[in-house]
Amino acid sequence: MDKKNALRAGALAAGTTLMMLLMSSPALALTRDDGDDPGTGLSVVETLGLYVLAPIALFVIVAGLVMVLDRSNPDHLVKTPGSRTKASAKVKAGAKA
């Protein structure tokens, strides 16, 4: 029974994909519409900078800010049960003495 359902689902997915590919006509992308005013293309360096380097740089900046601002106070650190931070270990060591 499972094999029959899997075959049916595969046939449905393949049919849907095929119909979508046939209905979307990429050949029509070559004809210009009224009001189309494409700008100049980007060079390889501009494309890599815009779509690769800029997102990586933004990620590094945000991650760096989060790390710097999170380490400012040891009480803000996420604690798991049974673990102690340096500040709490010093307090407990001082309390025992």
pLDDT tier at 43 (50, 70, 90 boundaries)? very high
Q: Is residue 55 part of a domain?
A: yes
pLDDT tier at 80 (50, 70, 90 boundaries)? confident
Which range of residues forms the domain containing residue 53?
Answer: 45-71
Question: What percent helix, strand, coil does the chain show, rounded to 5?
Answer: 70, 0, 30
Q: Is residue 95 part of a domain?
A: no
pLDDT tier at 86 (50, 70, 90 boundaries)? low
pTM: 0.44
Q: Is residue 49 part of a domain?
A: yes
Q: Is residue 51 part of a domain?
A: yes
Q: Give me the number of domains the chain comprises.
A: 1
Cα 11-17-23 angle, rounded to 5 deg: 130
Q: Is residue 87 part of a domain?
A: no
Q: Is residue 6 part of a domain?
A: no
Q: Does residue 70 have a pLDDT over 70? A: yes
Determine whether 88 is exposed, middle or buried from the number of CB atoms within 10 Å of its CB (0-12, 13-18, 19+): middle
